[in-house]
Amino acid sequence: MEKLKLTGSGSRAFGPARLYWREGAPLRISLTYRGAYGLGERFDALNQKGRRAVCEVEEKFCFQGGKTYCPAPFFWTDSGFGLYADTCESTAFDFREDEIIAELPKNCVITLFSGTPESMIAEYLSLLGSPILPPDWAFGPWISANRWSSQADVENAVAEAERLGFPVSALVIEAWSDEATFYIWRGAKYTPKPDGAPLSLEDFDFSDSPWPDPAGMIRRLHEKGIRVLLWQAPVYKALGPDEPANEQHRLDCADAVRRGLCVHNADGSPYTIPEGHWFPGSMIPDFTNPETRRVWLGKRRYLLEMGIDGFKTDGGEFIYSDDVRFFDGSTGREGKNRYARDYAEAYASVLGPEQALFSRAGFAGQHRTPLLWAGDQQSVNSEFRSALTAGLSAACSGIAFWGFDIAGFAGPLPTPDLYRRATQLACFCPVMQWHSEPDGGQFRELMPGAEGNNERSPWNMERAYALPGFAEEMRFWHELRVKLLPYLLKTARECAAENRPMLRPLVYYWPGDARAADCADEFLLGRDILVAPLLEENAARRRVYLPEGEWRDFFTGEAHVGPAELVCPCEGRLPVFARACFELKGTV
């Protein structure tokens, strides 16, 4: 690992590559390589060779393509070269046949790596700080649905899960707040407080509201072993003409403007999210300002005192101008990518080791504020495939703890086949979670969703498709997840201690094996479990490549020796293999 500041003109050899740079021109890297990996959470391809990747945080509702919520200016090749650009400004990397062109800001400092994928990722993580280990409960099965808009909805969902024997370790509530402040339970009565003063739990009367006893609800969920996360977005929301007035929200916005707690334009006026984007017209908090952090998080502290176990920190991709100004003197040019990281770090600063975030956006260093999820996907097969790609590329970028919405969360309900395949994949990912948008769709004018109950729970899928036994079939994978917990927790601790991702594409261990380097649809969960997701609709069989070593079928125990290519009959179940040293007894 070696740092290099790109000033003036020069060239030098490093590992298998030679670098050429001159002022005013992109960095040119000459090397032979088969694949380039990393660059954050990429939805378009695991191997970026032949593509131009832009490292810029972008919000995209479904079908992300070349856009990403969580970029990182870090990549490595199978031939043993890696690079990290130490900048928050937008960068771009063009991966050509025997050359890589890096578009970097002037005088950029880069760090070069040479070695195996395993060693280069570990060195990169050591540079930014080792991954933070999430609490144990984060590795059990999660449930979530935006349609839960009352305490009764949540308690009914949990009761149904219990009745059907589904284990639940975490529950995410999205539609809990007043949709204005995003920190007050909807329907609560209270006296608004001016000048940024926080409300305390004693200030609220919840009795005549959709959430009559949120603290009691949380306590009872905890007694069942279920942790609770609440949804958040970093906005001072611009209320629409059809939305009810909210005096506390008005006071908060006025206080933010008066005291400079929000991001500003160059002329000193508050910056607002442009039309055509999520939350248009809304101001956003400036987390580079210590006072903003104190006030913003102080208003949410009573939620933690109620027993909330973390936050689903949605959004954060809200900087659309290079000219905006932050409290610390930086501009939108530097802040566009950094904002999502600052947002997550602010929330993480008030959480303890038994609490967690579940974030959509991020930047280099996201592994210090786990967890990350893949954002918005529609419930179609192409989106399922792109979610797998995103998870593996995130892993190649050092993001250890990641998950996705099982079979997508937007649009009509997934087919039973897609739901089955996605549940099976999620069972072997760091986070296993199903989630769904509001009934009828979150953005109906863009993408209509399912009318009626569109909850992506296994039992609602059974009801919607009139498939007796479907929920029981899905319960097998939730129960298997619980059986895997000892292995998952052991692997997670090793990831934090040894700077590793939990998901590991085959190239991570076998960069010299061309078939492994080219394999974008298999991975190892930790060191010992190889997973081959079913990516084709109604697949009857799946071709699987087993790298060098001794392997056993995870479900039958049948032995295999790699390297070998198998054609595995699926029979409604994805192929999974374990190293011969892995103890299968008691798992399946």
Active-site residue identified among 59, 174, 178, 314: 314
Give residue 310's identity as a one-letter amino acid code: G
**What angle do helix axes 458-465 and 151-164 make, rounded to 10 degrees?**
80
pLDDT on residue 444: 57
Instruction: Write out the residue limits of the CATH 2.60.40.1760 domain(s) in the chain.
Output: 2-128
Residue 452 has pLDDT above 60, yes or no: yes
Distance (Å, whole) CA 386 – CA 252: 39
Phi-psi region of 276 (alpha: psi -120 to 50; beta: other; left: phi over 0): left
Instruction: Write out the residue limits of the CATH 3.20.20.80 domain(s) in the chain.
Output: 136-187+199-234+288-490
217-245 in b/e form (b: 16+ CB < 10 A) is: bbeebeeeebbbbbbbbbbbbebeeeeee
Instruction: Write out the residue limits of the CATH 2.60.40.1180 domain(s) in the chain.
Output: 502-579
Contact criterion met (CB below 8 Å) for 574 and 418: no
Distance (Å, whole) CA 496 – CA 433: 22
Nearest to 31 by CA among 112, 126, 121, 119: 112
Q: Is 314 a catalytic residue?
A: yes
Distance (Å, whole) CA 89 – CA 322: 10
Distance (Å, whole) CA 370 – CA 399: 8
CATH topology for the 136-187+199-234+288-490 domain: TIM Barrel (3.20.20)
Strand-pairing partners, residue 470, are: none
pLDDT on residue 304: 98
Distance (Å, whole) CA 96 – CA 425: 32
Residue 383 has pLDDT above 90, yes or no: yes
CATH topology for the 2-128 domain: Immunoglobulin-like (2.60.40)
Strand-pairing partners, residue 109, are: 5
pLDDT on residue 140: 99
pLDDT tens for 233-263 read: 999 999 999 999 999 999 999 999 999 999 9
Distance (Å, whole) CA 375 – CA 483: 27
Kindly report the length of the chain: 588
The number of beta carbons lying within 10 Å of the beta carbon of residue 111 is 18
pLDDT tens for 139-182 read: 999 999 999 999 999 999 999 999 999 999 999 999 999 999 99
User: What homologous superfamily does CATH list for 502-579?
Assistant: Golgi alpha-mannosidase II (2.60.40.1180)
Higher pLDDT, 584 or 39: 39
Nearest to 64 by CA among 312, 377, 371, 278: 377
Active-site residue identified among 89, 376, 405, 455: 376
Q: What is the per-residue DSSP string for 1-42?
A: -EEEE--SSEEEEETTEEEEE-TTS-EEEE---S-EEEEES-
CA distances in angstroms from 67 to 262, 273, 316, 362, listed in the order given: 26, 19, 15, 13
Q: What is the pTM of this model?
A: 0.96
pLDDT tens for 73-97 read: 999 999 999 999 999 999 999 999 9
CA distances in angstroms from 328 to 191, 268, 339, listed in the order given: 34, 14, 12
How much is the mean pLDDT over the chain?
A: 96
Q: Is 479 a catalytic residue?
A: no
pLDDT on residue 450: 62
Question: Which phi and psi angles does 88 have, rounded to 5°?
Answer: -95, -5
Active-site residue identified among 178, 317, 342, 522: 317
Q: What is the per-residue DSSP string for 522-542?
A: -EEETTTEEE----STT-SEE
Q: Is 317 a catalytic residue?
A: yes
